[in-house]
Chains A and B, each alone.
Chain A
Amino acid sequence: MKTADLEQRLREEPGDLALWAAYSDRLQEQGDARGRIIRLEMRRPHLRAADRDAVQRTIVNLTRRHRRSWDASLPEGVTVLARRYGFPAKVAVQWSDGAPALIGRALREPFVTGLRIRPASGQDDDYREEETDDPSDSIDTGALATLDLARLTELDLAYLRIGALGARAVAVSAYLHAGAADVRTAGAGGRLESLDLRYCRIGDDGLAALADSPAFRCVRRVRLQKNLISEKGVRALHRFENLTELDLRYNDIDAEGARALLAAPFIGSLTRLSLHRDDVGDDGAAALARAPQLPPALRVLWRNA
């Protein structure tokens, strides 16, 4: 199997250890230290604690020694935030007009599955009388639609004020790249599991657009702090049927929103729910406190909030 094919298979089945072992052999034949790191990582869980620490130190040292050459193919302006077996796994890019092109190049790296887009400094210099779901003036929301997010498992747009329009553009990107005739199925089978949209001000409409996109159906973790979400947005969340972690702090979802949340199909599977009493009001807190469908470890916080 060609190396490129092997990498494609690994992207599709990242948990297949036999494939990784084969890939390790291939890399070691080429003198690539990442081949050794793969072997070390595979051995590590089976070692005694002291030996695990020694292996970890070896991996850190190898990474420190080689990372510059490993990252040489990444364009300037792309930062590596996390690695797997030495390969960039999550990268960050600051938003600018040229960001989509940089992202496109970064995503050509074989195992990048996480992307963070940081806001440009000063994105919010424009004065606002009140909070709205308008995007920042510095963001060309249309450009967001050009991003190909198909291979990502983690999308992190924290603090990037994309507004409702930007959220729609991100949702549409799946259609554009799928090229499907039927938009209802475009992006289906998307890999995204983690979506960080805190402080993006996407509003109920932006959230609804993302929830309607099949590309986001597998999402398990969503961060939505400060996004102008109300009861309507919470109802849109129902489309994320696999959610296990949800952060809705600093949104006026009110008691009706709390009740809508309790009606969500994922409510019994949540392991983490971040919300403040101010977000749901006294009635909402009371509803959460007595909801049998909410897992006990989450409900106790409301019984005593």
Chain B
Amino acid sequence: MSLELRDRFFALSAGRAPAEEIDAYRAEVDATGADPAATVDGLAVCWHPTARFKQVRFVDAERLDAGVRDLFARPVAAMPDLAAVFADPRELSYRTFENILPLDRLFADVPLDLELTGREEFAEGAHAFSLRLPAAARSALEGLDALDLYVPPLNASSRGGDRFVFHSALLAGALGAAVRDALPDAALDGFAHVNPVFRGNRFEPGDANFHSHLDTPYYDAARNHVSRYTVLLYLTGGEGDPALDLAGSGALTAIEPFTCVIFDQRYEHEGRPYRDGRKVFLRTELIFSGAGLDHDPEIGALFGKATYWTGESVFAPELARHADDYYNRVAAAHWNGLSPSASGPEPFVRKRFRGVEYVANGYDYWFPKDGLSPAECAAITLLDYFNCKVGDSAYRTLCETEVIEADGTDWIPGLLARGRGERGESPVVPFDKSALFPEPEEPETDDLPDCACPLCAGDLGATFDTSRNAEIIEHYARAQESARADIGPAPILLLGEDVLLDPDLFVVEGDRIHVLGKEALTPVAFASCFGGPPMPSADSYVATAATLEAVHVLVPPILFAEDGDCYHLKFDFFRNTWTVGHEQSTVSVPMIRPFDEEDLPEDWEDDYDDEEDEDWDDEEEEEEEAVPA
């Protein structure tokens, strides 16, 4: 049944099925529930769509658990290693919004001698070329469309067409070499490379325009890299009205197949479908070293809000247009500085998480002071921003959320004061991690024997202390050390559905909250052995006391201020001077379990060496014979 549901998804996606059939299929999916089958990139996934798992993504099949791997479809015949998974869109965070497909293997055996010829500067800083390439390379690029890896874009409300995102260092390298040969020297000052992440776009005649927009510049704070030019590589030709419009500065109406357009990202531009056929193009950027860049923290704030509204638009689709607006303002600000924000209301969300009400916009977070510490507020901010998984649920699904559009922020303290009710315990519990690691006991017995007979093992049974056996303690201490290494630097721990925070790792200093984070017998003489059951190994006595998710974050300080009865936190995740990361790992906390008679196998005598037994009997008989009657 589930396999049929899986296969029908791809059958319906491939063709132009009647709307009724698609509606019936959607209804069936909405009525289908299933547990996750695997986890990829922190996302729970299933091999078929369900009411929860609705977003199709493509991943390397190798990354799926071998036990369930074969259940996942391989819908791309040319790429049998690419498995289709269905994810819960509510679990997405900034790291997983985009499904970046690894497609380098498509170009691995293809000659990629690319050449850009016939440069025509159709507007200042906007160049059109013809791409010359070997037939095999042309064929590989043309084949991208047929792979049908498209998924609806996240900002589908503001743009038409289908899109997929892929990574190919080989293609980017070849294109980069061609760009160096083709662009004027002045345009290449500081050029580093072509972004290996490509967007594949497809528009059919009659699709909505890709409305007038600025491309969001690529920015890599660690390498001080920034994009300055957009690269469009048209894989099909056709005519549009126009096909590409650089906001009145220049336009292309007729485009030949394998035309490459490179234009300054300052241009606001609009793309329209071809009148007479499918428009397929790849987009990427030219990356430059960012020497001489200034940085305005306000841009980081806007970008943070943009990514936040992208995530929240899964729950409130009306927020997508705000995300789009913020991205455009960020892109414009990158080139021209920030313009005064357009008058009119801005979006906020009022959220309630386990009794704590707060207001957020992806950069600013307001919490009522009442009973909450700045550290607790900071922990909730991180959970929300990264949409961490709490138990089996994405954080944002655990919140009651209301979208508010309002002018200014003066109304927020009053709103939170009105919403203040009888609050129970904090939903983020301060926790002393050392409680998870009681010190090992002093050993009383040495290494475990091979055999559990009284002579070998001595006092086994009710009085045998596994917790004081040297060998078991050694395993326990090692397991503790391993768990401590992972849990120790985690500011937030998720224990089942409970959220714990390490107060020592949230350091409040002035107007900043710093969230600190990181960076396995002795020989036994046979003659003295009675031949008992085999002794279980020492590591089998080290059991799991608890399983935790350790949330590791490396984030800039969170600014905070007291605003009346509120804490106002400002979390600028995209701050330029910071390399940032976030990961969640599962850790088992060890304990030593007591000895149990059932540890000894019932059928141990079956494995007992008969020959040795006979030898023993012979010796006994000989001894008996030697004794005078």
Q: How far is the CB of B349 from chain A (nearest CB, A)?
A: 27
Contact of A278 among B432, B442, B459, B593 (CB under 8 A): B593
* CB nearest neighbor in A for B498: A300
Given contacts A278-B594, A304-B546, contact A130 B425 (CB under 8 A): no
Which residues of the other chain, B, contact A129 by a CB distance below 8 angstroms? 461-463
Contact with A along B475-503 (1 / 0, CB 8 A): 00000000000000000000111101000
Contact of B496 among A128, A226, A247, A303 (CB under 8 A): A303
Contact with A along B532-547 (1 / 0, CB 8 A): 0000000000000111
Which residues of the other chain, A, contact B594 by a CB distance below 8 angstroms? 250, 278
Q: How far is the CB of B611 from chain A (nearest CB, A)?
A: 32
Given contacts A159-B444, A272-B435, A278-B594, contact A301 B465 (CB under 8 A): no
Contact with A along B447-463 (1 / 0, CB 8 A): 00000000000010111
Q: How far is the CB of B472 from chain A (nearest CB, A)?
A: 13
* CB nearest neighbor in A for B494: A304
Contact with B along A224-238 (1 / 0, CB 8 A): 011000000000000
Scan residues 572-616 of chain B and give those whose CB is less than 8 A from a CB of chain A: 591, 593-594
In this assembly, does B344 line the interface, its C-beta being within 8 Å of a C-beta of chain A? no
Q: How far is the CB of A248 from chain B (nearest CB, A)?
A: 12
Contact A297 B463 (CB under 8 A): no
In this assembly, does B430 line the interface, its C-beta being within 8 Å of a C-beta of chain A? yes
Scan residues 521-579 of chain B and give those whose CB is less than 8 A from a CB of chain A: 545-547
Scan residues 108-133 of chain A and give those whose CB is less than 8 A from a CB of chain B: 124, 127-131
Which residues of the other chain, A, contact B430 by a CB distance below 8 angstroms? 297
Q: How far is the CB of B455 from chain A (nearest CB, A)?
A: 12
Q: How far is the CB of A42 from chain B (nearest CB, A)?
A: 26
Which residues of the other chain, A, contact B546 by a CB distance below 8 angstroms? 301, 304-305
Contact of A296 among B429, B467, B591 (CB under 8 A): B429
Contact A225 B467 (CB under 8 A): yes
Which residues of the other chain, B, contact A303 by a CB distance below 8 angstroms? 495-498
Which residues of the other chain, A, contact B500 by a CB distance below 8 angstroms? 297, 300
Contact B591 A304 (CB under 8 A): no
Interface residues of B, dominant DSSP: loop
In this assembly, does B107 line the interface, its C-beta being within 8 Å of a C-beta of chain A? no
Distance in angstroms between the alpha carbons of A276 and B461 in the assembled complex:
20
Scan residues 277-301 of chain A and give those whose CB is less than 8 A from a CB of chain B: 278, 296-298, 300-301
Which residues of the other chain, A, contact B509 by a CB distance below 8 angstroms? none
Given contacts A159-B442, A304-B498, contact A128 B431 (CB under 8 A): no
Q: How far is the CB of B503 from chain A (nearest CB, A)?
A: 10
* CB nearest neighbor in A for B426: A296
Contact A247 B438 (CB under 8 A): yes
Which residues of the other chain, A, contact B465 by a CB distance below 8 angstroms? 199, 226, 250
Q: How far is the CB of B586 from chain A (nearest CB, A)?
A: 13
* CB nearest neighbor in B for A305: B546
Distance in angstroms between the alpha carbons of A305 and B254 in the assembled complex:
67
Contact A127 B432 (CB under 8 A): no
In this assembly, does A259 line the interface, its C-beta being within 8 Å of a C-beta of chain B? no
Which residues of the other chain, A, contact B426 by a CB distance below 8 angstroms? 296
In this assembly, does A274 line the interface, its C-beta being within 8 Å of a C-beta of chain B? yes
Distance in angstroms between the alpha carbons of A249 and B463 in the assembled complex:
15
Contact B463 A128 (CB under 8 A): yes
In this assembly, does A158 line the interface, its C-beta being within 8 Å of a C-beta of chain B? yes
Contact A296 B435 (CB under 8 A): no
Contact A225 B496 (CB under 8 A): no
In this assembly, does A221 line the interface, its C-beta being within 8 Å of a C-beta of chain B? no
Contact A225 B441 (CB under 8 A): yes
Q: How far is the CB of B307 from chain A (nearest CB, A)?
A: 31
Interface size class of A (residues with CB under 8 A): 20 to 34
Which residues of the other chain, B, contact A198 by a CB distance below 8 angstroms? 441
Q: How far is the CB of A203 from chain B (nearest CB, A)?
A: 14
In this assembly, does A269 line the interface, its C-beta being within 8 Å of a C-beta of chain B? no
In this assembly, does A8 line the interface, its C-beta being within 8 Å of a C-beta of chain B? no
Which residues of the other chain, A, contact B545 by a CB distance below 8 angstroms? 276, 305
Distance in angstroms between the alpha carbons of A297 and B593 in the assembled complex:
23
Distance in angstroms between the alpha carbons of A82 and B250 in the assembled complex:
82
Distance in angstroms between the alpha carbons of A298 and B431 in the assembled complex:
8
* CB nearest neighbor in B for A201: B463
In this assembly, does A28 line the interface, its C-beta being within 8 Å of a C-beta of chain B? no
Distance in angstroms between the alpha carbons of A179 and B263 in the assembled complex:
98
Contact B444 A300 (CB under 8 A): no
In this assembly, does A271 line the interface, its C-beta being within 8 Å of a C-beta of chain B? yes
Given contacts A226-B465, A300-B431, contact A274 B496 (CB under 8 A): no
Which residues of the other chain, A, contact B462 by a CB distance below 8 angstroms? 129-131
Which residues of the other chain, B, contact A271 by a CB distance below 8 angstroms? 432
Distance in angstroms between the alpha carbons of A276 and B543 in the assembled complex:
11
In this assembly, does B468 line the interface, its C-beta being within 8 Å of a C-beta of chain A? yes
Given contacts A272-B432, A278-B593, A304-B546, contact A128 B498 (CB under 8 A): no
Given contacts A159-B444, A276-B591, A278-B594, contact A304 B438 (CB under 8 A): no
Q: How far is the CB of A277 from chain B (nearest CB, A)?
A: 8
Which residues of the other chain, A, contact B441 by a CB distance below 8 angstroms? 159, 198-199, 225
Distance in angstroms between the alpha carbons of A109 and B547 in the assembled complex:
47
* CB nearest neighbor in A for B459: A127
Distance in angstroms between the alpha carbons of A296 and B427 in the assembled complex:
10
Contact with A along B398-431 (1 / 0, CB 8 A): 0000000000000000000000000001100111
Distance in angstroms between the alpha carbons of A106 and B426 in the assembled complex:
49
Contact A297 B432 (CB under 8 A): yes
Which residues of the other chain, A, contact B461 by a CB distance below 8 angstroms? 129-130
Which residues of the other chain, B, contact A301 by a CB distance below 8 angstroms? 435, 495, 546
* CB nearest neighbor in A for B462: A130
Which residues of the other chain, A, contact B495 by a CB distance below 8 angstroms? 300-301, 303-304
* CB nearest neighbor in B for A124: B444
Which residues of the other chain, B, contact A158 by a CB distance below 8 angstroms? 442
The listed residue with most B CB atoms (<10 A of its CB), out of A128, A130, A276, A304, is A304
Scan residues 90-109 of chain A and give those whose CB is less than 8 A from a CB of chain B: none
Which residues of the other chain, A, contact B463 by a CB distance below 8 angstroms? 128-131
Distance in angstroms between the alpha carbons of A25 and B157 in the assembled complex:
80
Which residues of the other chain, A, contact B431 by a CB distance below 8 angstroms? 297, 300
Q: How far is the CB of A246 from chain B (nearest CB, A)?
A: 12
The listed residue with most B CB atoms (<10 A of its CB), out of A130, A247, A296, is A296
Given contacts A276-B591, A305-B546, contact A128 B459 (CB under 8 A): yes
Distance in angstroms between the alpha carbons of A40 and B419 in the assembled complex:
53
Distance in angstroms between the alpha carbons of A125 and B112 in the assembled complex:
79
* CB nearest neighbor in B for A198: B441
Q: How far is the CB of A22 from chain B (nearest CB, A)?
A: 36
Q: How far is the CB of B355 from chain A (nearest CB, A)?
A: 13
Given contacts A127-B459, A301-B495, contact A199 B429 (CB under 8 A): no
* CB nearest neighbor in A for B596: A278
* CB nearest neighbor in A for B593: A278
Which residues of the other chain, A, contact B432 by a CB distance below 8 angstroms? 271-272, 297
Given contacts A278-B594, A297-B431, contact A250 B467 (CB under 8 A): yes
* CB nearest neighbor in A for B458: A127
Distance in angstroms between the alpha carbons of A225 and B444 in the assembled complex:
15
* CB nearest neighbor in A for B434: A272
Given contacts A131-B462, A300-B429, contact A274 B438 (CB under 8 A): yes
Distance in angstroms between the alpha carbons of A158 and B442 in the assembled complex:
9
Distance in angstroms between the alpha carbons of A255 and B431 in the assembled complex:
25
Which residues of the other chain, A, contact B459 by a CB distance below 8 angstroms? 127-128
Contact of A226 among B425, B435, B438, B467 (CB under 8 A): B467
Residues on A lying within 8 angstroms of B by beta carbon are 124, 127-131, 158-159, 198-199, 225-226, 247, 249-250, 271-272, 274, 276, 278, 296-298, 300-301, 303-305
Given contacts A159-B444, A298-B435, A304-B495, 8 further A-B contacts (CB under 8 A): A130-B463, A247-B438, A278-B594, A296-B426, A297-B430, A297-B500, A300-B498, A301-B495
Nearest 10 A/B pairs, CB to CB: A304-B496, A300-B498, A296-B429, A304-B495, A130-B462, A296-B425, A297-B431, A128-B463, A297-B429, A274-B438
Between A and B, 16 residue pairs with Cβ closer than 8 Å are A128-B463, A129-B461, A130-B463, A131-B462, A159-B441, A159-B444, A225-B441, A247-B438, A250-B467, A272-B435, A276-B545, A296-B425, A297-B430, A297-B431, A297-B435, A304-B495
